[in-house]
Structure formats: structure tokens, C-alpha cells
Amino acid sequence: MVKELTYGMVGGDLRALIGECHRKALGLDPRAKLVCGCFSAVDELNDECAGAYHVDKSRVYYDAEKMAEAEAGNIDFVSICTPNFVHYSVAKTFLEHGINVVCEKPLTLKVEEAEDLARIAKEKNLVFAVDYCYSGYVMCKVMRQMIARGDIGDIISVNADYMEGCFLDLLSEKEQINSRIWRTDPKYSGISNTCADDGTHVEHLVNYVTGLKIKRLLATADTFGKKLDLNDNIILEYDNGAHGAYWFSQVACGSPNEINLRIYGTKGSLEWHQTRPDEVRFARKGEAAQTLCRGGDGIDVPAGSLSRVPFGHPEGYYIAIANIYKNVIDTILKLKNGETPTEEDLDFPDVETGVSGVKFYYAVIESAQNNSKWVDVE
């Protein structure tokens, strides 16, 4: 019986933020070992990763396609932590070589590319996860199960936002300076910056927690004279007839990296904030609101037992990503051992989730560029 997996990484050199998050998250699970990689397009940065990551120099590659060719049959999955414009070509290459994939979001720059990856993964029966990591937080899983059980009744309204101020300085800089930042350059980010980068997290999280699917939306997208959106406001209609409002901003002065989610139903409401991820505010109709805490009393759904550390010891971002990887690893191990993954094993954002995210930000930009008209979302 197979008990351990090996993986490779594309992107994620020593200076890369997201790659570090993935490595540290995977480091929490002894069942997965990093054995190879194409860590950077810069040879010097790629070379220094061999010693730092304890990877044999012969398995450090300077081309992702050559890595896929050489490692086919030797690794169980690849973690793709590159800028957005590389996701499609790299993921496709590894899928075509029969290697399972975990990819950063947004999945691709075009809807057709996302659908192509989903098709290949399905045809080859490969696991494909997308790192919409906030669904890895225990309390988001708790909210999901509470809503499915009917604790807040029928959902009538959703309000969510993702706020940070990381690009505020761009509003006072010249365009040639902006072009150095890949996230604001259409060549590397496609048609959207803020909605694709941050907004797709919210799109996925709301769907994950509530089960609601977006039927149509209308939006504004503020560029402030730059090439891509930096501030988005969206009104949505869900498949159950309820409406919601989203706000995504990367020019919100004083906001560190905030996701705020409020869900209102006919019998109660739930409220969660990413800056306090271990807490959920739960209000029942006619009763005083209460704060549910991860690992604490009052949580009577199965997800309440998923805590990695005891009540009162905060869990964080790395563990949220680790929880995604745990289920991916569980799934791949069971498939390799001829077993059938359970619903709990498959509780990770899959390639269809990635396709949904791309369709979402395309609909937002289409609406914003057409006088905020309603746009159907498939």
C-alpha cells in the first residue's frame, strides 16, 4: 500500500511569496515530499533552490515541459505557483504527461483555456485542484454544514468583500512604473487584475459555503486610468432568486488583506472575517447573537472536529492551504491504492471551480465595459 507521495513545483523560488506558502503548507503533511522543480525562469534563482529545498541538482529543470517529460511516472503531482499567464501552458503539459495538478488561481487568462484543462483532466482521470485556499479554514466548513442543515433557513441575501491597499501607490505613479508590476499588465494578467486575483476567491467562497450559483450580475470596474481594474463593485442574482453584493478593492487604504462574508437567511445569519478566521458570528431569529469559535463549544456539525490545534491556539493561512493539500493527498493516495475517495477526501476546489472563477471575472469585466448591463453567468 502506498503511504507517501512525491511532488514537483513550478515557480516558487526563494523570493516568491505564494510558492513559500505552498511549500510550508505541504511541509505540515509528512506524506508529501518535494523532489524536483522548475522554480524560476531566472537560472540563478532556480539553481539556488536545489540546496535550499534539499532537491537533487539533477532534478532542477530550466524548462517546465522538459520537467514534465523527465518526471512522468516519477512524481505524483505538481504544484504550480507561477504568475497567471503561465498557468495554462504548464498545467496542460503536466496533464498530458499523466501528472496530477494543483494550480494557483485564477486558473487561466481565458475561458477556453480553463475549459480545455478541465476536459484533459477528465479524459485522463487526473486530480486537478485549484488553490482557492479560504475554503480550507475550518470555520468556513462549519458554516457550510450549518447552512446545508438549514440553521439559517433559506438564504435571502449575501454581502461579501475583499479589501487590500497593496496598489494604492499606483494611483499617483506614471504608467511606465506600473508596467513593471505583472499583476497590472494585461500581457501577464489578461483582462482583469483585482477581480481575477481577489474577486475569484470570494466567488468561490460564497458558492462553497452557501451552495448558491450566480445566475447573472452587473458590475463597475474602476481602473483610475490604468490598464486593468483596481476596484470592483458587483450586484448579483443567484439561482435561488436571492441577490448579493460584492466589493473587491486593491486600493482600499488601511485594509491589510480582508475578506468579510455575511450571509442572511429567513431564520438566521452567519458572519465571518478572514482577519479573525477562527470565529463565526451566528444569529438566530429572536435570539441573541453568539460567537462560535473553532475548537470551542456550541459547534455540532462534523467540520467542528477538523481543528489541528486546540481551542484558543489560533490557526492561520498556512493551515488553510494545508487543509486543501491534505484532501488532495488523501484523494491521490486512495486512487493509487485502488480505493474510492470519500466526499470528505474530495473536499477541495477542483478544476471546474477554476473554470467557474474565470467565467466569473469575464462576466464582471464584460458588464463593466458595457455600462454595467446585466450579464448571464453560465
pLDDT at 378: 80
Q: Determine which helix (DSSP H) or strand (DSSP E) holds 350, and give its type and residue range.
A: none
What's the pLDDT band for 359 if we cut at 50, 70, 90?
A: very high
Q: Tally the C-alpha atoms within 13 A of residue 92's C-alpha that lie toward its C-beta.
A: 13
pLDDT at 113: 98
C-alpha–C-alpha distance, residues 233 and 50, integer Å: 44
pLDDT at 183: 86
pLDDT at 283: 98
Greater confidence (77 vs 177) lies with 77
When pLDDT is averaged across residues 116-132 and rounded to a whole number, the result is: 98
When pLDDT is averaged across residues 138-157 and rounded to a whole number, the result is: 98
Answer yes or no: is pLDDT of 275 > 70: yes
pLDDT at 191: 98
pLDDT at 39: 97
Answer yes or no: is pLDDT of 354 > 50: yes
pLDDT at 174: 58
Give the SS3 label for residue 248.
strand
Domain segments of the chain as ranges: 5-126, 137-306+357-376
Q: What pTM, to 2 d.p., does this model score? A: 0.95
pLDDT at 179: 43
Question: In this structure, are residues 172 and 341 in contact, taking their beta carbons and an 8 Å threshold?
Answer: no
Burial degree of 130 (CB within 10 A; 0-12, 13-18, 19+): buried
What's the pLDDT band for 176 if we cut at 50, 70, 90?
A: very low
CA 344 to chain CA centroid, Å, is: 18
Give the SS3 label for residue 214.
strand
What's the pLDDT band for 163 if we cut at 50, 70, 90?
A: very high
Answer yes or no: is pLDDT of 126 > 80: yes
pLDDT at 162: 98
Return the residue matching grid coordinates 481602473: 223
Share of the chain above pLDDT 70, in %: 98
What's the pLDDT band for 344 if we cut at 50, 70, 90?
A: very high
CATH architecture for the domain at 5-126? 3-Layer(aba) Sandwich (3.40)
When pLDDT is averaged across residues 70-86 and rounded to a whole number, the result is: 97
Sign of CA dihedral 87, 93, 97, 98: positive
C-alpha–C-alpha distance, residues 57 and 37, integer Å: 10
Burial per residue of 38-57, b for 16 or more beta-carbon CB atoms within 10 angstroms, e otherwise? bbbeeeeebebbbeebebee
Lowest mean pLDDT, pick from 198-212, 255-269, 303-317, 347-361: 303-317
When pLDDT is averaged across residues 53-57 and rounded to a whole number, the result is: 96
What fold does the segment set 137-306+357-376 form as a domain? Dihydrodipicolinate Reductase; domain 2 (3.30.360)
pLDDT at 172: 83
When pLDDT is averaged across residues 32-39 and rounded to a whole number, the result is: 98
